Amino acid sequence: MPTIIQKFGGTSLSDPLRIRRAAQRVADARQSGFDLVVVASAMGAMTDDLIDLAEQVSPMPDRRELDMLLATGEQASVALLAMALREIGCPASSLTGGQAGIRTDGVHGRARITRIECGRLERMISRREVPVVAGFQGTSDDGEVTTLGRGGSDTTAVAIAAVLRVAESGGYCEIFTDVDGVYTADPRLVRAAVKLPRISYEEMLELATLGAGVIHARAVLFGDKYGVPIHVRHSQKPDHGTMISRENPDMEELAVVGCALKDDLGRVSIRQIKNAVGLQGRIFTALAHANIVVDDIMQTEQGSATMIAFTVDHADLSDSKQIVAKMLQEMGEGEMSVEVGLSKVSVVGVGMKSHAGVASRMFRALGEAGVAIHNITTSEIKISCIIDSAKGQQSLEAVHSTFGLGLGTNATMAMQLDSSQP
């Protein structure tokens, strides 16, 4: 039988009742004959509560000690889940990340998995016992407790699926969460949005980065690298969710599979500056040193002068402004302007590599909806437009509609409608 890795997020384990429900789901899958490994996050808001506690003791808590503290969250939830499994007669044992063989580098707070010593997991599976592994954590080679950073439990699950080669026997990784799956757009914003039965790693990666918080981008990257199919589904409903996997070459590609909206952006624009070698490196290194995550970067030239603009989360705008202002003063040239209240609407689809006219169609739809486009950035499978936040939802609906994403009950219908309009 195939091996399935089941990962339960914090909201799926937020109280004893939900823990017992998750246990029943695991026991049912085992009863159906599957071999299983379970990965669990900390209960509900426990990680945030622990961080609050740490900050009351030390405003900038030591990273090693914060890892020791945060690791207790997942350890508690796997112990409780294993108890609940044993209670209903399902043989199970909890394992810390270290006990499960998850080895990481020593970078506390954002450690990377270096290898998984999976002997213990394999021995448990071979005797039909369910390992319940603490997600988000591991140990370094010198036995220190490390954490993988936010979204780390998804990564743990996909990495275990990769090292156990579950795909070879038809297995996959199930991510149980509090949403039904991946939608053509955020269903809270676009009423017509439909659930996608499948999506490629690349598309999911773009959507994850663009604000569709269903699964962490890092886990998708891991899945892509090792070919692990990832099934994202609702923890409290039996329905099929969305399967993230390699592009299926037999299937005609969708030009656009989904769209996303990212709010609360600010933009810093620099004008009247000479495009000297190393200019861009200097600006963005200074921002990185201040831990500012830059969203998109745009550059255009006009004669010998350059214009560089970038977007950041609104929370980082004030720091960004100060850093750039200081730099321009040092250089003795350039003008800076800052805009707030911006959003980014994006469309994503592997098919746009081969379908012409996706960009023009998106711009036309925004124009017809009366939305001004402030900036444009593109990748091979994504087009993003910076717009006024006030027009955010309207833009998302216009784009969702022009690509026919909501018209079908599944993505295949959406694709056909799209292909029929050049």
Q: Does 62 bind a copy of itself (CB under 8 A)?
A: yes
**Cβ proximity to a copy of itself, 38 vs 230, nearer residue:** 38
**Cβ proximity to a copy of itself, 100 vs 214, nearer residue:** 100
DSSP letter, residue 195? B
Left if phi > 0, otherwise alpha if psi is -120 to 50, otherwise beta: which for 393? alpha
Q: Does 107 bind a copy of itself (CB under 8 A)?
A: no
**Cβ proximity to a copy of itself, 73 vs 258, nearer residue:** 73
* Distance between CA atoms of residues 133 and 79, nearest Å: 9
CB of 75 to a copy of itself, least distance (A): 5
* Distance between CA atoms of residues 31 and 21, nearest Å: 15
Measured at the CA of 158, the angle between CA 73 and CA 195, to 5 degrees, comes to 100
Residues in 6-35 that interact with a copy of itself by CB under 8 A: 16, 19-20
CB of 340 to a copy of itself, least distance (A): 36
* Distance between CA atoms of residues 297 and 324, nearest Å: 14
- Site mask for a copy of itself (CB under 8 A), range 133-162, x = bound: ----------x-x-----------------
Asked whether 40 and 26 are in contact (CB, 8 A), the reply is no
Secondary structure class of 25 (helix, strand, coil): helix
* Residue of 80, 196, 287, 324 that binds a copy of itself (CB under 8 A): 80
Q: Does 101 bind a copy of itself (CB under 8 A)?
A: no
Q: End-to-end alpha-carbon separation of the chain, Å?
A: 45
* Distance between CA atoms of residues 216 and 213, nearest Å: 7
* Residue of 31, 58, 169, 379 that binds a copy of itself (CB under 8 A): 58
Asked whether 84 and 120 are in contact (CB, 8 A), the reply is no
**Cβ proximity to a copy of itself, 72 vs 401, nearer residue:** 72
**Contact footprint for a copy of itself (CB under 8 A):** 16, 19-20, 50, 53-54, 56-59, 61-62, 64-66, 68-69, 71-73, 75-76, 78-80, 82-84, 86-87, 93-94, 96, 99, 143, 145
